[in-house]
Amino acid sequence: MPANFSVVRQRIQAQGFCGLDDSSYQQLNYPLRLSPAICMLWAAIGTYLVSANVLWALVPFAALGAILPGHPFDAIYNYGLRYINDTVRIPVYPARRRFACVMATIMTLITAWGFQAGYLLLAQIMGWSLVAAAFINVSTGFCVPSFIARLIIGKSECVTD
């Protein structure tokens, strides 16, 4: 395992994915970033274009990530990419990962509504904040909503210091 593997495992466990073996944590490190990456790019395009319509189109996907056992964009990995490298399937989303999707849904709703209603500054702040939070997750594996959940309700039980 790479020297930074313990950080990888802690960041995935912070999102609520517990009880996996070390190999699974290692294999899921980047696939768990795919859905946030797609959402980040979509939100960035909508925010850059000041397009409520582009962002309204993202809202159902973000909401489904909170409602379904996994994010719809995970299908790209689960039914395709994972077979290329013979890696594990993304597990069912635990509460912390769903919370991240709820946060993304709310931020996307506010951004879309802000652009539509003419509250451009609010929409720009919310849209670029969503992009920034997703970028942190995509580039490092650190999930900002999971960190917020930790501040509010405490550490995920499987994470040890």
SS3 90: coil
Which residues lie closer than 8 Å to 144 by C-beta, 6 or more apart?
A: 100, 133, 136, 137
Please give the span between the terminal C-alpha atoms of the chain, in angstroms, as a whole number.
Answer: 19
Residue 44's Cβ-count burial label (10 Å; 0-12, 13-18, 19+) is middle
92: left (phi over 0), alpha (psi -120 to 50) or beta: beta
Q: Which helix (H) or strand (E) holds 92?
A: none
When pLDDT is cut at 50, 70 and 90, the band that residue 161 belongs to is very low
User: Which tens digit of pLDDT belongs to each residue from 18-38?
Assistant: 999 999 999 999 999 999 999
Name the band, by pLDDT with cuts 50, 70 and 90, for residue 85.
confident
Dist CA 66 CA 101 (whole Å): 5
Q: What is the pTM of this model?
A: 0.91
Q: What is the pLDDT of residues 93-133, one digit of tens each?
A: 999 999 999 999 999 999 999 999 999 999 999 999 999 99
